[in-house]
Amino acid sequence: MLWKTPIYTAMSLVYRYLEPVIGSVVAGVSVAEAHAQAAEEFTHPTFWAIEVWLVALFAVFVMMRELTIALGKDKVRILFFGR
In this prediction, residue 1 carries a pLDDT of: 65
In this prediction, residue 82 carries a pLDDT of: 86
Residue numbers of the chain with a pLDDT score lower than 70: 1
| Sign of the alpha-carbon torsion through 7, 4, 68, 77 | negative
In this prediction, residue 26 carries a pLDDT of: 95
- Give the whole-angstrom CA distance, residue 62 versus residue 34: 33
The residues spanned by each domain of the chain are 4-81
In this prediction, residue 54 carries a pLDDT of: 92
How far, in Å, are 2, 49, 72 from residue 45 at the CA level?
26, 6, 40
